[in-house]
Structure 1
Amino acid sequence: MSREPLDQSRKLVTELPGPKARELRERLETYVPKAVSPSTPAFVSRAEGGIVEDVDGNRLIDLGAGIAVTTVGASHPKVVKAVQEQVEDFTHTCFMVTPYESYIQLAKRLDELVPISSHTRTVLLNSGAEAVENAVKVARAYTGKQAVAAFDNAYHGRTTLTMGLTAKNMPYKESFGPFASELYRVPGSYPYRDGLSGEEAAARTIESLESQIGANNLAAVIMEPIQGEGGFIVPAEGFLAKVVEWCKANDVLFIADEVQTGFVRTGTWFASEAEGIEPDLIALAKGIAGGMPLSAVTGRAEVMDAVHAGGLGGTYGGNPVAVAAGIASLEAMEEEGMAAKATRIGEIITEHFTQLQKDDARIGDIRGRGAMMAVEMVDPATKEPLPKLVNNVAVEARKQGVITLTAGTYGNVLRFLPPVIIGEDLLKEGLSVITDILTDMK
């Protein structure tokens, strides 16, 4: 049965949370661990385009996209149709037991899309952290080395291995150690705070790699081309190219963690393209499947084939329903020119906050690319982070019907990750709400 389209407008019919949401919150607190702590007071009942509707009938502007997942929207018609058709055929067989064509079809499509010039192979998995873990496994198998280097301000996941790669302690690592061994951290590039050129920052990174780890011990260097949870940090121009050049000269694999940046989010299919780099392995997830749980590791064929038969996989990896959603999502991105739409979103957000910055010196930095933008809030006199302000802005925005997220190693970054199909007027309204809140909190 077809449903009426969800009206693409913000509307508050109750305070947030409303009565039904308050009842659900009580049940959540009874049956769900305190460690799982949703930030938005509303409980969703429907979502479409750039709007989330809650159980009380309130409509909220979505500037988070489920943390960069619903790039094509939360219920894109093409994705919905593909999922429905696949469910009618079969929901699961386990690809390692009884394979199916769609898995191969998606692997082929990724081979065509990723910025790796040679032939690639792909393993499909469930989550971003799982993709990162498997990329590390592949790198160690191929090189015969164990050490892996990650960067300051990195975020790579919440599993035991990926927590070791993640930089931020709270809430991700506190009390959960010990972590996996042979994981190292080196300084990266944070232009707003370190003031270094790409070449200078790369020289510092390479010195650390050579002196603290040694190329002979190093299987891989892993980095997000734009660091996500760390604060949407765009490295200085040329930084990544220099690091990748060093990796290739020293038989070290470069893993691009494009879990958040991938699939038109930054205005190109992958952020590595804009950085002019060619990774050996790419970890993929989030925007790949329109909200269904799916991830992938795509890499050079000879690298991926270094792992013995049965060494990669998992019961649910490449589930046929998720794969169907993935194929449909990629088709929608291409057919509807969503990379260009992401670029336009970046232009709107940059222009909006650049104008605001003229009157609000607390806006220290405006950065990002495409539909992955951020504003770093600081004390104008000292550049000290303002995490309390950012948290208060986000909380008030959610109460006023705008879902927005925070980020940053210091917790002082407002980040914007709307579905790329959001209407421009809706996007601008959401930004205006945040502007008004910032003004009120001066």
Structure 2
Amino acid sequence: MDTRLSNAPFDVEKIRQDFPILTRLVHEKPGRPGKSLVYLDNAASAQKPRAVIDAMANFMAHDYSNVHRGVHYLSQVATTLYEATRDKTATFLNAPSRDTIVFTRSATEAFNLVASSWGGTHLTAGDEIILSVMEHHANIVPWQLLRARTGIVIKVAPVLDDGTLDLDALADLLKSPKVKLVSITHGSNVLGTVTPAAEIARMAHAAGAKVLFDGSQAAVHMPVDVQAIDADFYIMTGHKLYGPTGFGVLYGKAEILESMPPYQGGGDMIQSVSFEETTFREVPHRFEAGTPPIVEGIGFGAAIDYVTALGMGAIHAHEQRLLAYATEKLRAIDGLRLIGTSPTKAAILSFTIDGVHPHDIGTLVDRAGVAVRVGRHCAEPLMERFGVGATARASFALYNTEAEADALVDAVRAVREFFN
């Protein structure tokens, strides 16, 4: 299916049948029926389609073995299935080669890999990297750890009041000849803001810097082409893309990966070992020490198959319709403040209500069966930027409906009335 942005029909009711958990009732008690689950916590982790569940179960039941180096039948079958996910991931991101795809155990590990392996060998005291104020802690803390070891300098690009990245401020930061890396989200997990990745890459490269994009949210909601945006690094995670936990992806340009030493040492990433010297495998395997998350890799491959069959463009169009619908209705609630109103954003809605703690919002809407996330969302600097201690966050996925958006709005309105 064509993965370009599309307005093709999207049969969400049929799609919902692929997700067993969506028929679940919550808060069931003796003598009292439960509430239908309205799952709007997708930015934290998405639910899993039957195709992913079955792929993992079938592999464990019929084809399980450790991968790589095994000469017996099951090991070869398992290796073929696992490595097929690398090919699928390369196609999904339009990477130029399967060898530019490094498997990790999470997006967080991928950030730490880049900071340690690339940053630890390519950055020295006084070198600057640029982050944005809307970064997830996973794109902040690894660089702070590197700063403590090497003396690099971290600069922060601000956002405008609507949550849009301030490109003028970014341009000013890039005037420094010491900037070596721009590491910025492609899609904010709090604001929903989708950053202009190709423009950011152009600006960074013109200044002689590399660019890394956190695609943990963006790759779930829209087509991503790492060659078109000219990313040097691109990071994504499996569990937000309807796959299992414990699996992440790092894309890196081949010449950059070749310049990086191993991140961890152990089995599977070595060519030969003696007590005098160890030699390492070629990329990407030199970055994949130890027994990999095999079952999770099989599940992630099935998740890519699933969303590819639906079409990322069709998914994007469906979610954008939900975003517009829910935004309009939430804005009509007195005292509700939306945090992040960029004209280009994913289907994520963070908000506060005057006089109501976000934890109370989350608790009360949950009683109606509506699952949202509350707190700081691993983005404390962004909370400070907008002058809030926390927010409630509703995040939509391909299986959500307008009726579920209505359920959210009704539950939030009831919270407002309760505290009024």
TM-score > 0.5 by shorter chain: yes
Count of paired positions: 359
Q: Deviations over 1:56-76 (max 9, x none)?
A: 9665321113x4432xx33x1
- Superposition map of 1:11-90 within 5 A: 12-14=27-29, 59-65=36-42, 67-70=43-46, 73-74=47-48, 76-89=49-62
- Superposition map of 1:94-173 within 5 A: 95=68, 100-114=79-93, 121-137=100-116, 139-140=118-119, 143=122, 147-157=128-138, 161=142
Counterpart of 2:290? 315
* Percent pairwise identity: 12
Unaligned runs of 5+ in 1: 19-55, 166-176, 380-385
User: Match for 2:246: what amino acid?
Assistant: P
Cα 1:421–1:351 shift into 2, 3 Å: closer
**Does residue 222 of structure 1 match 2:200?**
no
Q: Deviations over 1:130-167 (max 9, x none)?
A: 011123345447856665332223114299626659xx
Structure 1 position 278, deviation (Å): 2.6
- Superposition map of 1:290-309 within 5 A: 290-308=243-261, 309=280
Taking the aligned partners of 1:138 and 1:415, their CA distance within structure 2 comes to 34
Taking the aligned partners of 1:183 and 1:355, their CA distance within structure 2 comes to 43
Counterpart of 2:414? 436
Taking the aligned partners of 2:175 and 2:315, their CA distance within structure 1 comes to 41
Taking the aligned partners of 2:305 and 2:257, their CA distance within structure 1 comes to 26
Deviates more, 1:127-136 or 1:400-409: 400-409
**Does residue 270 of structure 1 match 2:224?**
yes
User: Match for 2:188: what amino acid?
Assistant: Q
Taking the aligned partners of 2:138 and 2:373, their CA distance within structure 1 comes to 17
User: Match for 1:277: what amino acid?
Assistant: I
**Alignment partner of 1:245 out of 184, 202, 205:** 202
Taking the aligned partners of 1:188 and 1:182, their CA distance within structure 2 comes to 20
Cα 1:180–1:441 shift into 2, 3 Å: farther
TM-score by length of 2: 0.71
Deviates more, 1:418-427 or 1:291-300: 418-427
Q: CA RMSD in A?
A: 3.8
Taking the aligned partners of 2:52 and 2:202, their CA distance within structure 1 comes to 39
Structure 1 position 422, deviation (Å): 3.0
Q: Deviations over 1:269-297 (max 9, x none)?
A: 33989xx7331111111324622321011
Taking the aligned partners of 2:364 and 2:334, their CA distance within structure 1 comes to 18
Structure 1 position 398, deviation (Å): 1.9
User: Match for 1:151: what amino acid?
Assistant: S
Cα 1:246–1:139 shift into 2, 3 Å: farther
Tell me, yes or no, if the aligned pair for 2:111 and 2:139 is still in contact at 8 Å: no
Tell me, yes or no, if the aligned pair for 2:87 and 2:98 is still in contact at 8 Å: no
Taking the aligned partners of 1:68 and 1:348, their CA distance within structure 2 comes to 18
**Alignment partner of 2:358 out of 366, 369, 390:** 390
TM-score by length of 1: 0.68
Tell me, yes or no, if the aligned pair for 1:343 and 1:370 is still in contact at 8 Å: no
User: Match for 2:85: what amino acid?
Assistant: L
**Does residue 375 of structure 1 match 2:372?**
no
Deviates more, 1:420-429 or 1:110-119: 110-119
Tell me, yes or no, if the aligned pair for 1:282 and 1:297 is still in contact at 8 Å: yes
Structure 1 position 90, deviation (Å): 5.4
The DSSP-based 3-state class of the residue aligned with 1:192 is coil
Q: Deviations over 1:286-310 (max 9, x none)?
A: 3246223210111222222223435
Structure 1 position 366, deviation (Å): 5.5
Taking the aligned partners of 1:91 and 1:357, their CA distance within structure 2 comes to 51
The DSSP-based 3-state class of the residue aligned with 1:157 is helix
Cα 1:11–1:297 shift into 2, 3 Å: closer
Cα 1:439–1:57 shift into 2, 3 Å: closer
User: Match for 2:231: what amino acid?
Assistant: P
Taking the aligned partners of 2:419 and 2:323, their CA distance within structure 1 comes to 20
Structure 1 position 125, deviation (Å): 1.0
Taking the aligned partners of 1:284 and 1:234, their CA distance within structure 2 comes to 15
Cα 1:96–1:294 shift into 2, 3 Å: farther
Tell me, yes or no, if the aligned pair for 1:226 and 1:261 is still in contact at 8 Å: yes
- Superposition map of 1:166-245 within 5 A: 181-182=151-152, 184-192=154-162, 201-211=166-176, 214-215=178-179, 218=180, 220-229=181-190, 231-235=191-195, 240-245=197-202
Cα 1:270–1:390 shift into 2, 3 Å: farther
Deviates more, 1:153-162 or 1:125-134: 153-162
Counterpart of 2:12? none
Counterpart of 2:236? 284
Counterpart of 2:370? 402
Unaligned runs of 5+ in 2: 1-18, 262-279
Counterpart of 1:52? none
Taking the aligned partners of 2:361 and 2:340, their CA distance within structure 1 comes to 16
